[in-house]
A = this chain, B = another copy of it.
């Protein structure tokens, strides 16, 4: 069984053993040889996923939530977790709170790379690389640290504030990097696929 999470820039595949990526142009040329169980947030693949081997999992992710318009990738990650804060750190970072299998709500902040790029648009003086070793215990004393601190500190503070003693589950491209700021976080690059797998397991008779 092949699972596929189609995002804004890439489609990520999982075959039960390994994970691999295609960019969206490559995905649109991809000719699968077996069923692809997918979720999708990208309009650019609308035609491709009409092909018969592509099966949309979205209708089977029965997340208990009052949130209107929750992205299916967020819903899938949340569907994998009963209790905890789910952080998907990519070009945007989503934070969603799950309690007793219910989605309590969540929000969206610009991701690390997105924030860094946005500062460049303001002034050449702010066009500096991230100091990924920034010490969050000391107030910065020069510009590179000031922007690095200003990007990472709010993310870390928000995660600490919203986890409130609950488990922190991190996924996405910057999930592993962010996990080092928390003593008790769980980095799980498979989180979205786990939610998809749960939806498939619950609907085996229809889907398999």
Which of chain A's residues 109-158 have a Cβ closer than 8 Å to chain B? 109-111, 114-115, 117-119, 121-126, 138-143, 145-147, 149-151, 153-155, 157-158
Are A115 and B110 in touch, CB under 8 angstroms? yes
Complex interface residues of chain A between 151 and 171 (CB less than 8 A to chain B): 151, 153-155, 157-158, 161
CA distance A12 to B142 in the complex (A): 26
Interface residue total, chain A, C-beta cutoff 8 A: 50
Say whether A173 faces chain B, with CB atoms less than 8 Å apart.
no
* B146 in contact with A157 (CB, 8 Å): no
This protein's copies in its complex: 2
Q: List 22 A-B contacts (CB under 8 A).
A: A8-B123, A41-B123, A67-B142, A68-B141, A68-B143, A92-B123, A106-B146, A107-B140, A107-B145, A107-B147, A107-B150, A107-B153, A108-B119, A108-B126, A109-B150, A110-B118, A114-B122, A115-B115, A154-B154, A154-B157, A154-B158, A157-B158
Q: Which residues of A contact B (CB under 8 A)?
A: 8, 41, 43, 66-69, 71, 91-92, 94-95, 97, 104-111, 114-115, 117-119, 121-126, 138-143, 145-147, 149-151, 153-155, 157-158, 161
